[in-house]
Chains A and B, each alone.
Chain A
Amino acid sequence: MASLSTSPPSLSDGSFSSTPPTIEIQGIVRRHGAVTAVDGISFEVRRGEFFSILGPSGAGKTSVLRMLAGFEDPDEGDLLIDGRSMLHVPPNRRPVNLVFQSYALFPHLTVFENVAFGLRMRRVPAPRIAEQVRQALLMVKLLGKEARLPAQLSGGEQQRVALARALVNKPAVLLLDEPLAALDQQLRQQMQVELKSIQEQAGLTCVCVTHHQEEAMMMSDRIAVMHQGRMLQIGPPREVYERPQSLFVSRFLGVSNELPGKIVGTREGKTVFQPADDGQPSLLVPAVSGQESDRPATLSLRPEQLRLTQERSSLSDEVLSGRIEKVLFAGSEMKYLIRVSRDHLWEVDTRPSAHSAGFTPGATVFLHWSTSDGRLFVE
């Protein structure tokens, strides 16, 4: 397995910055006719890193991937892999391999021949092809299926062949286009774990494009949220999830409980936020820049950052009152939909065992959170 790694990186220290970037994207722009699919984005991917580009369909993320693979060229900007510009380098001369969303397995070739295709194109001697194909198939747990045609395999097995066919070439960068989108939920979760462990074992550098936020967060070292051709935020999954820099990122990465209002001043180095709805008390949020008074803003909180109580307790937290509107039992958790103002329903997730009594619809409850968890987006 070690033979599949290009040069085993030490991920344990977590300091990516010590290794030179494998990919450098410098201000690339890509236009399709009048539409600008990619609008001047820059980022770096480091060796051994799993980097996901996350965004809704039409965000331009597939264009970025196709430019890395060499199927499209940027109209502006530069794209470097291992320090070498890839502009005008055709796909067959690039040190990258792509796992296609449709897998694109050659239907007339067996599993062995599919996986061997890249090695044969590079005129690797037959005995070495046999050995490397065997190793790749071992890695994706498909040994013994060498003689099958793709049509004789299940969806999950086809996915593994597509992965092995790319891995066997030991690419400097493995590109993944919605790699698990065609699999059903259960298989998908299983493959997420397997893909991640293969990537870590082989020390692969991966760029993955997906619209599935949970998948991106589970597998990635860093994620980039893309929208309308631009990258809104790049960072480790937890940071992007817990500290989104825009409402779009907040809403795209999970549930965002929101309340509109305005900034009314500062207190104890924190920003004071007044919900627009009458009758709600002012709340404290971490200090935001550009906090002139009367600036309209929106408060956002994650469902799991909130705690529910029956009585108003004198904790130092922020508190908001609301009325339970719906109780949803989802197995491992209870979801409460709580009306906090005329137009705003918040979702709060709790473990059922912790609140064995639970709350019933119609009950008035208090929602508590730590001041540091509140996110304020100034308009």
Chain B
Amino acid sequence: MKRESIGLKAVSLAAMLFLYGPIVVLVLYSFNAAHLSMAWSGATLKWYATLLYDGALLAATANSLFVAVVSTIVATGLGGLLALGMERMPHRRQQTIEGGLVLPLVIPEVMMGIALMLFFVMLKMPLGLTTVILGHIVFNIPLVTIMLRARLRKLDPALGEAAADLGAGSWQIFRYVTLPLLRPAIWGAVLVAFTVSLDDFLVTFFTAGPGATTLPLKVYSMIKSGVTPEINALSALLLGISMACVGLSLHLQRREV
């Protein structure tokens, strides 16, 4: 065994605590029986149960799932087509498009949110679920395209030629060779896009109108009247779903073939 310095261990431990401590506390207190108290008074699942009877919360959940599903499907379709199309472009044009793709991911999300809001107002579009979905599609397309391109680049270009040589037309090459080989990456991209959409706060905050409250917006409005154990329970649930999706996505990405 290699001896590690005690100092390094201590710093690592402190960093881990700083990163994950709050999350652990949040999850723990979602099981705390006491209401409005930081004192531990026994474990319970009742806060999870009360979530089920909160009508406004259920409506927000429905909104969130609707936005996430629709924006993921549309973004996967468009982002996938873009990734496939880019493969056939000259190298320089690919680079230009790639630059444009990364932009929505690197500019501050607040600005993205404000820009989208102003854009929708300019078009005189009423802010609501439609505008939220459009906003989510905007940041999900680059995610999907970048993930699929990573996979496409690993494929042997001779595979498409081999299929053509064996009599396949371009649709058959896509149907029987490209698509099956891309499938794990597509599912991975779907899960990541779904998670990012489900968790998004800023873009949603600026593009949502009345009646378009999603779960993160609901949590934010609930927290104004104090941190309740229900919020802890809701957050813990969101956290669990996100981690499961991202974990599954990573697993699919790593799989060979």
A interface residues, Cβ below 8 angstroms from B: 69-71, 90-92, 96-98, 100, 102, 104-108, 117-118, 121-122, 149, 151, 165, 169
A97 contact set on B, CB distance < 8 A = 165-166
Contact for A151 among B158, B159, B161, B257, CB less than 8 A: B257
B257 contact set on A, CB distance < 8 A = 107-108, 149, 151
A149 contact set on B, CB distance < 8 A = 257
Nearest residue in A to B155 (C-beta to C-beta)?
A107
B156–A108 touching, CB < 8 Å: no
10 smallest A-B Cβ distances: which pairs?
A121-B167, A118-B166, A104-B158, A104-B162, A91-B164, A108-B180, A92-B167, A98-B165, A107-B257, A92-B164
Nearest residue in B to A102 (C-beta to C-beta)?
B158
A91 contact set on B, CB distance < 8 A = 161, 164-165
B interface residues, Cβ below 8 angstroms from A: 156, 158-159, 161-169, 172, 176-177, 180-181, 256-257
A169 to B159, CA, bound (A): 17
Query: Can you show 28 pairs from A to B with CB atoms below 8 A apart?
Result: A70-B164, A70-B165, A91-B164, A92-B168, A92-B169, A96-B165, A97-B165, A97-B166, A98-B161, A98-B165, A100-B158, A102-B156, A104-B158, A104-B161, A105-B162, A106-B162, A106-B177, A107-B181, A107-B257, A108-B181, A117-B166, A117-B176, A118-B166, A118-B167, A121-B167, A121-B172, A151-B256, A169-B166
A49 to B34, CA, bound (A): 89
A122–B162 touching, CB < 8 Å: no
B159–A122 touching, CB < 8 Å: no
A188 to B113, CA, bound (A): 62
Contact for B164 among A90, A122, A151, CB less than 8 A: A90
A68 to chain B, nearest CB (A): 11
A102 to B166, CA, bound (A): 16
A151 to B156, CA, bound (A): 14
A121–B168 touching, CB < 8 Å: yes
Nearest residue in B to A117 (C-beta to C-beta)?
B166
B165 contact set on A, CB distance < 8 A = 69-70, 91-92, 96-98
A149 to B256, CA, bound (A): 12
A71 to B158, CA, bound (A): 11
A149 to B165, CA, bound (A): 21
A106 contact set on B, CB distance < 8 A = 159, 162-163, 177
Nearest residue in B to A177 (C-beta to C-beta)?
B158
A147 to chain B, nearest CB (A): 15
B166 contact set on A, CB distance < 8 A = 92, 97, 117-118, 121, 165, 169
A90 contact set on B, CB distance < 8 A = 164
A149 to B180, CA, bound (A): 14
A100 to B163, CA, bound (A): 11
A117 contact set on B, CB distance < 8 A = 163, 166, 168, 176
B180 contact set on A, CB distance < 8 A = 108
B212 to chain A, nearest CB (A): 42
B162–A98 touching, CB < 8 Å: yes
A71 to B164, CA, bound (A): 9
A107 to B151, CA, bound (A): 14
A104 to B172, CA, bound (A): 17
Nearest residue in A to B173 (C-beta to C-beta)?
A92
A365 to B45, CA, bound (A): 101
B153 to chain A, nearest CB (A): 15
A102 to B156, CA, bound (A): 9
A92 contact set on B, CB distance < 8 A = 164-169
B169 contact set on A, CB distance < 8 A = 92
B161 contact set on A, CB distance < 8 A = 69, 71, 91, 98, 100, 104
B256 contact set on A, CB distance < 8 A = 151
B176 contact set on A, CB distance < 8 A = 117
A108 to B156, CA, bound (A): 13
Contact for A104 among B156, B167, B181, CB less than 8 A: B156
B255 to chain A, nearest CB (A): 11
A242 to B253, CA, bound (A): 57
A165 to chain B, nearest CB (A): 7
- Given A97-B165, A118-B167, A165-B166, 12 further pairs, Cβ under 8 A: A91-B161, A91-B165, A92-B164, A96-B165, A100-B158, A104-B156, A104-B161, A108-B180, A117-B168, A121-B168, A121-B172, A151-B256
B164 contact set on A, CB distance < 8 A = 70-71, 90-92
B123 to chain A, nearest CB (A): 44
Which of B161, B169, B181 lies at the interface centre, i.e. has the most chain A CB atoms within 10 A of its CB? B161
B181 to chain A, nearest CB (A): 6
A100 contact set on B, CB distance < 8 A = 158, 161-162
A96 to B161, CA, bound (A): 13
A90 to B172, CA, bound (A): 14
